[in-house]
Structure 1
Amino acid sequence: MTPLNAAFAAQAAHCSALGSPFMARLMTILSEKLAPETSPMMAKLYAWPGDVGPAGASIPLRLAGGLHALVLRGIAPELEAVYPPHEVADSTLWAAVFAALQGHDTWLTDWMKSAPQTNEIRRAAVVRAAGQWAAARFGLPLHLLELGASAGLNLHWDAYGLEAQNVRFGPLGAPVELAPDWRGALPPNAEPIVMARRGVDLAPPNLHAADDRLRLLAYLWPDQPERLTRTRAAMALPPAHVDAGDAADWIEAQLDLPAPAATRLIFHTIAWQYFPAPVQHRARIAIEAAGEKATAADPLIWFAMEADGSEAPGACLTLRCWPGNETYAAGRACFHGRWVDWALPSPT
C-alpha cells in the first residue's frame, strides 16, 4: 500500500471514531481504489512531498472537502445522488466519485492547494466552561485572545448556550445551542462578560466571501447535518476580528500592549499541534513572561484543548492561571466536542 492509500485508510479509522460512518466508508473506498492514473490530479497527489496523512498535509481530508464542496455547490449531480441522505452500494459510490474526479479535475486541483480549514463549533463548549471558571475566579470581564482562530466562530462562545447534565448556561435565545455528553464536574454558574475578542490565523477565512464560507462548510462531514446547521448559525453572527499572521508574532505583540483591567483569556483548540516547533516555543515564552507580570487586577489564563499523544480518548484540556502560575488538568473532550469529561475544580 502506498503512503497515500495508507493515509486514506488511517483517516477512515479517525472518521469512524468520530461518528461518521459515511466518511469512514468513503475513505476506505478511496484507500482501496485510488491510483495515480485515476485522474491528472491524482498523479500530482501521489507525487506530493512529505507526510500526506492526518498529521501532515491531510490529503484525504482535502479531497473529501473538495468532493463535498462540489455537492454543496450543486455542480456534481452524480455525487449528490450518492451522498447522504442517500444510501447506495460501495460500487455505486465509487463510480460517482470516479466520475467527479475526472469531470472536475481542474477545479479539484485548485481546491487541493489549500489546507483544511474549519471551525468545529462544539469545541466552544469547553472554552465557555473555562470562561465561566475565569469569571468565577476573578470576577472581571474577559479579554479573549485565540490562537489558530480560523474564521473566529469560536471567539463568540459567550453567545452560545451550553447544556451540561440538564443544567443550562448562556443567554436565552442563543443562536447556537451546545449539548455535549457532559461528564464530571459542572462549570461554575458565573456568566462571563467579554469586553474584547481577537484572534489570529495564518489564513483566516473571510465570512463575507462565498468561497471561504463554502470551504468552512465543505470540511464538515456530509452525514452530520447538525454540524452544518450549527456552523451556518454561527456564521450569521457579526464576524469576530481575526488577524492574518504567525501565532508567535501575534501573541508577542498582543501581550506587549498595556494590560487591560480584565482577565486575558488566551485559548486554542486543536491548533497548537499545527504550529512549527519554533512558533510553539516563542508563543509559550511570551505567554509565560506575561503571566509572571500578571496581577489580581489583570490576571492571565491560558486554556488549551489539544492532542497530547495519550492513549486516552479525545483531546487533553489544560488551564494555567496567573498570578501564581497554577496549572490544572481540566479533563478531556472529544476532538469534535461530542463529549466532555470536565475535571477542573471550581475556584474557591
Structure 2
Amino acid sequence: MSLSDALADQAGHCAALGSPFMARILPLLAEVWPAGSALDAALRAFTGDIGPKGHSLPLRLASGLHALVLTGQDADLIAAYPPNDVSDQALRTALTGALARHEAFLTQWITSPPQTNEVRRSALLIAGAHALVHRTGVRDLRLSELGASAGLNLMFDRYALDAGGTRLGPEDAALTLSPDWVGPAPMAAPFTVCDRRGVDLNPLDPHNPDHALRLRAYLWADQEHRLTLTNAAIRANAAEVDRGDAVDWLDRRLADAPEGQMHLIYHTIAWQYFPAERQATGTALIEAAGARATADAPLAWLRMEADGETRGASVTARLWPGDHHITLGRADFHGRWVDWADNPA
C-alpha cells in the first residue's frame, strides 16, 4: 500500500468515527509529503502493510503533528488546527512547514506504534460488570485487563455511566460517560473492586509527562471532549499495568481464585491484535479456569471486539460455572453509541 492510499484509507475511518478534521488533513498530508527527505526514508523503511490494519503510519504521522500542537512547538501549525478554521491552502502551508522544521522529531515519533486508551469504552465495561454481578450475585470483583495500555479503563468503577437517563456509578465519579443509548436500561447491581491489574506489551504511565503526551496526541484535534475525558481519567488513575505477554501473564493470574470474588477478564479492541496461536492458548487457559470456577468464585470473560460486521463492535461475555455465552449488545469502536441487548430479567 502506498502512503497516499494509506492516508486516504485512514481518512475514511476517521470520517466514520466523527472527525472531519482528520478526514481532511490526511489527504492534504499526501499532497505535501516531502519525498526524498529523511522522514520519507524512515517511512519507507517499514515493510508490510503501512495502513490502518498494519503499522498505522497515517495515525503515527498525524499524532506526531498533534503532539507539536499540544506542546506549543509550532505556532503556524497551532494557528491552522482546531478550534481555528482555515482554508485548505493555509493548512497545506502549515503542514509543509511543520514537516520540514520538525523532521527529526517526527522521524523519531513514528518509530513507536499507536498507543491509545479510549476511555469511552468504559461505558460497556460498567454496564457489562453490572450485568454479570446481577447474574452471579457476587459483588466483589477481581479485574484483569488484557491490552490495558495506560490502565485508564482499569478504573471503570470510578466512572459514571448515563445510559439514556439511567445512571450507574459512584456519586463522586471522576467522569461521566453519556453514549447514545439504545435498548433496555443496564441492570444496576453495585459492586466493589478488590483487586485490579492489567498487562500490555508496551504499557504507558499516564503520570509520566512523555507518556501522557502520547496518549493525548493520538486523540483527534477536533474532538475536544475526548481530551477532556482522558485528562479526567489520567487524574484519577491509580491502576498498575505490567509489561509482558498477555497470555503468559494471564496464566499466572488464573492460578489464584479467591473465594467470594468474581474474576473479570476483559479487553476492548485488543484481542484481534494477538497472534492466532496466542488467542488459542489464551482461550484454552480461560476455559480451563472456567471449568474450575464455582458459584462462590465465578469467572467472567467480557469482550468488546470487532467481529466482521460493518456496524461497530460486538459486546459479549462468557460466564462460569456453566460456560454461559451472553450477547450484551454492540457499540461504536470509540464508545459514542451503545445498542444494548442484555436484559437478564
TM-score range with shorter-chain normalisation?
Answer: over 0.9
> How far 1:260 moved relative to its partner?
4.3
> In the aligned structure 2, how far is the partner of 1:274 from the partner of 1:100?
32
The number of aligned residues is: 344
- Residues 20-59 of structure 1 aligned to structure 2 (within 5 Å): 20-34=19-33, 36-37=35-36, 39-59=37-57
Q: Contact between 2:166 and 2:186, CA under 8 Å: does it hold in 1? A: no
Q: Contact between 1:291 and 1:300, CA under 8 Å: does it hold in 2? A: yes
> In the aligned structure 2, how far is the partner of 1:94 from the partner of 1:103?
14
Partner of 2:61: 63
Partner of 1:196: 195
Task: Give deviations 1:14-38, integer Å, cap 9, x for gaps.
Answer: 000000000110112123443533x
Task: Give deviations 1:270-311, integer Å, cap 9, x for gaps.
Answer: 111111222211111111111111110110110110111123
> In the aligned structure 2, how far is the partner of 1:11 from the partner of 1:260?
47
Task: Please tell me whether residue 89 in structure 1 is matched to residue 87 in structure 2.
Answer: yes
Give the aligned residue type for 2:297: D
Gaps of 5+ in 2: none
Partner of 1:280: 279
Percent identical residues: 51
Q: Contact between 1:270 and 1:305, CA under 8 Å: does it hold in 2? A: yes
Task: Please tell me whether residue 146 in structure 1 is matched to residue 145 in structure 2.
Answer: yes
Change beyond 3 A, Cα 1:143–1:17: same
Change beyond 3 A, Cα 1:238–1:165: closer
- Residues 74-223 of structure 1 aligned to structure 2 (within 5 Å): 74-140=72-138, 141-223=140-222
Give the aligned residue type for 2:16: A
CA RMSD of aligned residues (A): 1.3
> In the aligned structure 2, how far is the partner of 1:192 from the partner of 1:32?
53
Detail structure 1 runs of 4+ shifted over 6 Å in the superposition: none
Q: Contact between 1:5 and 1:34, CA under 8 Å: does it hold in 2? A: no
Change beyond 3 A, Cα 1:260–1:106: farther
> How far 1:186 moved relative to its partner?
1.6
> In the aligned structure 1, how far is the partner of 2:101 from the partner of 2:34?
16
Give the aligned residue type for 2:321: P
Gaps of 5+ in 1: none
Partner of 1:343: 341
> How far 1:173 moved relative to its partner?
2.8
Give the aligned residue type for 1:29: L
Partner of 1:314: 312
Q: Secondary structure at the match of 1:204?
A: coil
Q: Contact between 2:198 and 2:242, CA under 8 Å: does it hold in 1? A: yes
> In the aligned structure 2, how far is the partner of 1:319 from the partner of 1:344?
11
Give the aligned residue type for 1:78: D
Report the TM-score, using the length of structure 1 for normalisation: 0.96
Q: Contact between 1:148 and 1:201, CA under 8 Å: does it hold in 2? A: yes
More displaced 10-residue stretch of structure 1: 200-209 or 252-261? 252-261
> In the aligned structure 2, how far is the partner of 1:66 from the partner of 1:279?
31
> How far 1:253 moved relative to its partner?
1.0
Q: Contact between 1:128 and 1:157, CA under 8 Å: does it hold in 2? A: yes
